[in-house]
Amino acid sequence: MKFKDYEYVRPDMETFKEDFLRALENFENAQNVETQESAIETVNKLRKHFHTMSSLAQIRHTVNTKDPFYEKEKDFFDQQGPVYSQLNNRFYKALAESPFREELEKRKGHLLFQKAEQSLKTFSDDIMEDLQEENKLASTFNKITAAAEIDFEGETRNLSQMTPFTQSPNRATRKKAYEAVSGYFQENEEQFDDLYDKLVKVRSKIAKKLGYDSFIPLAYDRLGRIDYGPKDVAAYRDEVKKRLVPLAETFAEKKRQRLGLDKLYHYDLGLEFQSGNPTPQGDKDELVRTAKEMYEDMGEETARFFRFMLERELMDLEAKKSKAGGGYCTFLPEYESPFIFANFNGTKGDVDVLTHEAGHAFQMFMSRHFEVPEYHMPTMESAEIHSMSMEFFAWPYAEGFFGPDTAKYKFSHLSGALFLILYGSLIDEFQHEIFQNPDLSQTERKALWRELEKTYMPFKTYHDDDYLERGGGWHRIMHIFVVPFYMIDYTLAQTCAFQYWLWSRSDRDKAWQSYVGLCKAGGSKTFLDLLKLAELQNPFEKGVLPDIVQEINRFLEDMDDKNL
């Protein structure tokens, strides 16, 4: 079956509630563990159906945000998501209080019950309307950015289509492109500020109603972080500031020299080499063919996975008008199908996003048969290990994607991954400060962003752009609006992915076996337990990040970047 034939039917919520509550009643009145297990199977079937329909609506809405039918369906799930959460909360409560819990834990795994108890803290009937409001506001961000129409070089372009111009070897073109993008956000500055005001208020309100001191611990619980907390993350960020910021300043200075510039400005950071950035060889179809050859050679599991994706047409990759920005991978439980969404625009990012989202999809494919839906995917810092590591496992095949630009790609990819850790840590600290001080004014928030930018990226200098100099750069970051506190997951996962990069250079087979095992484990273990399973070092441990950075720096210094 092709993806276009996957049937979407809006759930009848009254019938859904009746069926769910009936199964729950059977569970609560059960006289033995077998009857409870049968009721769990019924509940799981209902939950899988709801998630499948929700994901179908999300995919088809983001592929074309102006499709009136799926816009209404997305609005429907924004409204009904909290209703679903209410039912799911009752299921989790029944699980936690089951008289047969000990036996159920043996059959379903202890982690399901840990997840249930954690989730119970994040919901109550009192916050139903607040959750609906939060969902609506978060969806508004995607609608605003997807609707961007920027007149540039004789055509109207969306934000994804502007990216190649921000990386142009022609400095005047780069500057003009950055000004056009910045101009769009500045024109809508008040709208973004007001939207975030409302999000901060409603999220803080939800946290207080649930008994939390602030939104921060609620956000951690929502993200399923069981074995670490804000103090661990703060210590990690301190390591980033101490070890990575000085190295990034050195790399920025090398870039200035490499580009032959007197001064490096923000619009120069997207360009790596005077000769231009590495460019993929071929259009979307050619890149997909190269990926197919790569995954067939990489291993039996990846060959099977990618054939499945192609046969079912489970990818939408090209940038186009009215399509939401960014890239993601989601899962359709009833069809046991991952789906990859991206915005190809002719830059090296096309290969990065393809291999990155394929890493997510491969994990979902490998753990799709878990009976417990909670185990289909791990928490996000673990999930991003799958995606970022897949980018590095694709390195031996880089020539097929980049041809003569292969060395340029490897240099850009590896150094860019280091900068991602800075960027993610900056965003994370910004959000911690915001929700510790939710009454900050719009002006104070921007000043905070600019102050933190100078801490994490002291080399970032704005040229004649008052909006960015005032600290408006965070307005275009989807994660801040839609999935708060997610960005640190990328940095933790990047630290782990670097370990796979190093490991695969010395023993590729063993590294690959570890990676496949990690993907098969899905979400059946916590983050730190998954690291133990995969024999990866804990990024929170002192010395882990500095040791990795030292090895990467040594590799990059051995490359003759001035002649790439």
> Each residue of 142-167: pLDDT tens digit?
889 988 999 999 999 999 899 999 99
Calculate what percentage of the chain has a pLDDT beyond 70: 100
The pLDDT of residue 563: 85
Residues 6+ apart with CB under 8 A from 98: 27, 36, 104
Which of 457 and 325 is assigned the larger pLDDT?
A: 457
> Each residue of 329-339: pLDDT tens digit?
999 999 999 99
Say whether pLDDT at 252 is over 90. Answer: yes
User: Is residue 149 classed exposed, middle or buried when 0-12, 13-18 and 19+ CB atoms within 10 A define those classes?
Assistant: exposed
Give the pairing type, strands 315-318 and 337-344.
parallel
Mean pLDDT value across residues 519-543: 97
Alpha carbon 378 to its chain centroid, in Å, reads 13
Q: Which of 457, 479, 471 is nearest to 328 (CA)?
A: 479
Confidence of residue 325 (pLDDT cuts 50, 70, 90): confident
Say whether pLDDT at 564 is over 90. Answer: no
Residue 211 main-chain phi, psi, to 5 deg = 95, 10
Residue 441 main-chain phi, psi, to 5 deg = -75, 170
Identify any residues that bridge with 150 across adjacent strands, giving them in sequence order.
157
> Each residue of 171-208: pLDDT tens digit?
999 999 999 999 999 999 999 999 999 999 999 999 99
Instruction: Give me the chain's average pLDDT, please.
Output: 96
Amino acid identity, residue 172? Answer: A
Say whether pLDDT at 403 is over 90. Answer: yes
Say whether pLDDT at 343 is over 90. Answer: yes
Say whether pLDDT at 321 is over 90. Answer: no
> Each residue of 75-119: pLDDT tens digit?
999 999 999 999 999 999 999 999 999 999 999 999 999 999 999
Mean pLDDT value across residues 542-552: 92
Mean pLDDT value across residues 509-535: 98
How far apart CA 212 and CA 314 sit, in angstroms, is 40
